[in-house]
């Protein structure tokens, strides 16, 4: 097969992938690399996919934020870290995180901490707060919000 036909096959395969679910440019770049597409050809394919709106990193970031917040109950810090790992631009990350309602976000943190509190065995109140704080940080919630909520929970 000629190199041009391999590029067309990879382009069609990438279009089919992007039509089935949301991908970011970094994900597609990795797929193309795993398929053995050369770097220059991969960049040309990605440019075509972006031009034809198969790939849109802004749209991907918004969908990622919504899914990870609603389904996985992740905090903004963890979501942002995962998006940065996928080489999403910081302005896309900021605007996607801004779509979250701040009051709903804090209420979600309260609910998660309250439900987790039932399963914690602690010697005293300070130990309980420390364990809840570590749990909240592991879920990606910001420390200043966790401190405020934990102080209100007393």
Q: Report how far apart, in Å, the C-alpha atoms of 85 and of each of 19, 21, 27, 101, 153 are.
A: 23, 19, 11, 24, 34
- Residues 6 or more apart whose CB falls under 8 angstroms from that of 105 comprise 69, 76
What averages of pLDDT result for each successive group of 10 residues across the chain (154 residues)? 78 94 94 91 94 96 96 97 96 96 95 93 90 96 95 80
Q: What's residue 2's pLDDT?
A: 62
Domain ranges of the chain: 3-55, 58-97, 102-152
What number does CATH give the domain 3-55? 1.10.10.10
Q: What's residue 7's pLDDT?
A: 87
Q: What's residue 32's pLDDT?
A: 93
Q: What's residue 3's pLDDT?
A: 66
pTM listed for this prediction: 0.90
Maximum Cα–Cα distance for the chain, whole Å?
A: 71
CA angle at residue 99 from 47 to 73, to 5 degrees?
A: 100
Which of 62, 24, 64 lies closest to 14, judged by CA?
24
């Amino acid at each position: 097969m000629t190199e041009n036909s391999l590029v067309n096959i990879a382009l069609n395969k990438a279009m089919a992938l992007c039509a089935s679910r949301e991908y970011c440019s970094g994900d597609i770049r990795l797929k193309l690399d795993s398929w053995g597409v050369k770097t220059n050809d991969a960049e040309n394919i990605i440019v075509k996919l972006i031009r034809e709106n198969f790939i849109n990193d802004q749209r991907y970031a918004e969908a990622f934020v919504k899914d990870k917040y609603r389904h996985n109950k992740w905090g903004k810090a963890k979501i942002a870290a995962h998006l940065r790992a996928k080489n999403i631009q910081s302005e896309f990350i900021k605007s996607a995180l801004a779509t979250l309602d701040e009051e709903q976000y804090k209420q979600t943190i309260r609910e998660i901490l309250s439900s987790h509190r039932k399963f914690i065995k602690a010697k005293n109140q300070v130990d309980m707060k420390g364990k809840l704080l570590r749990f909240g940080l592991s879920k990606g919630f910001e420390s200043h919000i966790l401190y405020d909520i934990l102080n209100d929970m007393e």
